[in-house]
Amino acid sequence: MLNKVFRMGCDIGGTFTDFVLVNDETGAFSIYKCLTTPSDPSDAVETGMKALETQSPGFISDLAEVIHGTTLVINAIIERKGARTGLITTKGFRDVLELGREIRYDAYDIFSEYPKALVPRALRTEIDERITSDGRVLRPLNDDEVKHVMRLLLDAGVESVAICLINSYENPEHEARVKKLVEEFAPDLSVSASYEVLPQIREYERTSTTVTNAYVKPITVKYLHKLSSRLQSLGFNGKLFIMLSSGGITTASTAGEFPVRIIESGPTAAVIASQHYGRMFGIKDIFCFDMGGTTAKSCLIQKGEAGLVSTFEVGRVQRFKKGSGLPIQVPVVDLMEIGAGGGSLARVNRMGLLQEGPESAGADPGPACYGLGGKKPTVTDADLTLGYLDPNYFLGGSMPLDLNAARKAIDEEVAKPLNTTLIEAAFGIHDLINETMAAAAKTHIAEKGGNPNSITITAFGGAGPVHAYGLARKIGAPRIIVPPLAGVGSALGFFTAPVAFDLVRSHRVVLDEADFNSIEKLFEDLEKESSAILQQSGAVEGIIFSRSIDMRFVGQGAETNLPITNKAFGEWQRHEIRSLFDQAYERLYGRTYPDTRVELISFRMRASLPQRPFQTPRITTSVGKLRDCIKGTREAYSLIHKKFIPFTVVDRLKLFPGASINGPAIIEERESTIVVGEDANAEIDDYGFVWIKFKAPH
């Protein structure tokens, strides 16, 4: 396997499945993009690999690894297509999924809705056991009671079971026993125990995360097994890695055991790629903008690093309202959904106003212009109508678009109900999606203490480069970078991600009373556990460990994460830990409280392998003349003058280092299209990056 020279990234999105094949010896890339096959995503994987075979014959037998990102898990949660799941919990805590934090996400909306629990109340069972917050057994476990509730769950037809007992993060003895009994009683049943999924404080978040893991585990295991078998049938005998929400990659077996960790699998890769490009060009503040066919995601990278958060939400009833979704407490890159995608449906709502999303045409039937049966107008239909897309060069001409179908859908569903013209309706769709994304982006940047007037936008996805110019104008960003192969940016980003895994364990103790040697033992256990997970990838040397602690003032409800060095915890002095906490707290909130006691809550460990070599190759096109790169002109809609004007159409693959293109221009490649307005110009560097700069402040 050491002499295998190819690696392949495969990102399955809601509309398209993207492929990037890299030859580590030559640095050459091969790419492919096709429609996702929702009924069986592995169908699209096979289609893509066979297509790549025509570009690089025989590569599959020489393929060292496949790195895969998927929306399977998050889609199963949103669409409620997971397994029939049961819950075993401590007596008195059956209703924690509904009670939550007992906080209304909208205090003034008496009709506010909340997401439906993944496990209905009839499938939640209780056992009369109890462990205290310091780990003592208050009420012992009764094996017969566990068997009784298992009979009830099996009679109810459950396919998966979540086990979440109170305070098991401090002492997992009872949970481990329940898991063993369940496995003996029903060997074929899928089981998720919170002490393995999330041994962390807060019963609501821990229960929700464990239940979510159990809910998607059977379908994830089935899918990954089928994908592995299908890859093997094509001749692949390398390693299959899965992208984690935290920005690392892991083995398929680990992803199958903890599928809750791959919820944001695909979008994370674009952020990791942006982080890589930031280091490459020495840019510290980057706004990653990834807009595909179904969703758009963003992330603010500050000082060269993308932030990690320990809690996020999925399946929100109100997309931008925190608290209206299901909480998931696992490490995830600090992403924000800032709008919808190219397939988002446009319509006139009950108030007589134009609205877009959250519903999407997806891959089946897709936008009206795909000609696959879709009748509703989408953002892609509007972009086509406005002239930004060439109906004869979508996916390099392999997928012609139906302009008349797009115009008809917009006219009937938007223009006529609003009593406006077709072009005004198309512009309204395009501009509304930009405005929605810009409003959310400015909020996201402000919350992180960033300045939109000084950031650089990196545009990814099939629709990202089309809308990046309009987004930049609205938020005031001075510069846009469109990397090579931006249309398959997430699949390319897989190659920049390290093999890594994050673990956490809660142990609440006041700093003044903490046993530092016991804490060091806890960290050592986390190192061993994470090392064992990484060794499944075949690596046994060079593991890098990173430690951090969640701390807070005694009586406080939220923690502050504090990265620390890897020296033995017993070598730390209490005043050193306290000083680090006060410095971090003051930096975040402007002041600290030196006379108030602090406590240690959770201990985190990230284990990762060294960064694997990956270099963006220089473009080989020799210096030429710009006129040789121009395909012609096309009438497209100006966001400034609000009318159609001639745009210069440029073939990106023919561009050379140093080429400069004045807007208005449209730069086309097979997987994406870049729009450059008349108040901007684009320049090409040695690596083929398109740098779009505005001629004046906007």
* CATH code where residue 246 lies: 3.30.420.40
CATH code at position 109: 3.40.50
Q: Which of 430, 450, 476 is the last residue of a domain?
A: 430
> Could you tell me if 174 and 99 lie in one domain?
yes
Residue 389 maps to a domain? yes
Would you say residue 314 lies in a domain? no
- Residue 553's CATH number: 3.30.1490
- Listed in sequence order, the residues at least 6 apart from 320 whose beta carbon sits closer than 8 Å to its beta carbon are 440
Residue 410 in domain: yes
105 and 60 assigned to the same domain: no
Each residue of 480-528: pLDDT tens digit? 999 988 888 888 888 888 888 999 999 999 999 999 999 999 999 999 9
Predicted confidence at residue 695, as pLDDT, reads: 84
Task: Kindly state whether residues 397 and 521 are assigned to the same domain.
Answer: no
- Helix ranges, 448-515 (H): 464-475, 489-493
Residue positions counted in the chain: 698
Q: Cα–Cα distances in Å, from 501 out to 135, 204, 249, 331, 471?
A: 26, 24, 8, 9, 34
Two tokens, residue 156: 């109810």
Alpha-carbon distances, residue 95 vs 77, 91, 98, 125, 142 (angstroms): 20, 10, 6, 10, 22
Q: Are 692 and 665 in contact (CB under 8 A)?
A: no
Determine the 3-state secondary structure of 20 from DSSP: strand
639 belongs to a structural domain: yes
Check whether residue 217 and residue 82 sit in a common domain. yes
User: 583 with 504, same domain?
Assistant: yes
Query: Cβ(496)–Cβ(473) under 8 Å?
Result: no
Residue 584 counted as domain residue: yes
Are 506 and 603 part of one and the same domain?
yes
Residues 31 and 149 grouped into a single domain: no
Q: How many CB atoms are closer than 10 A to CB 154?
A: 14
For residues 560 and 586, membership in a common domain is answered with yes
> What pLDDT was estimated at residue 356?
81
pLDDT at site 1: 41
pLDDT value of position 3? 67
In DSSP notation, 549-609 reads EEEEETT-SS-EEEEE-SS-GGG--HHHHHHHHHHHHHHHHS---TTS-EEEEEEEEEEEP
Residues 133 and 258 placed together within one structural domain of the fold = no
For residue 462, tell me if it sits in a domain: no
Q: Which domain holds residue 353?
A: 345-430
Distance CA 620, CA 252 (A): 36
With CA atoms as reference, report the closest residue to 639 among 472, 427, 437, 457.
427
Residue 434 corresponds to which amino acid?
A: N
d(CA 634, CA 467): 18
Rounded to whole angstroms, the Cα distance separating 72 from 259 reads: 10
Of 77, 156, 155, residue with least CA distance to 121: 156
**pLDDT for position 588:** 83
Do residue 125 and residue 10 come from a single domain?
Answer: no
DSSP string, 526-542: HHHHHHHHHHTTT--S-
pLDDT < 50 positions in the chain: 1-2
**Does 159 share its domain with 182?**
yes
pLDDT at residue 341, as a whole number: 81
Of 221, 253, 278, the one marking the end of a domain is: 221
Residue 599 lies in a domain: yes
> What's the pLDDT at 71?
79
Judge if 254 and 154 occupy the same domain.
no
Residue 179 lies in a domain: yes
User: How many domains in the chain?
Assistant: 5
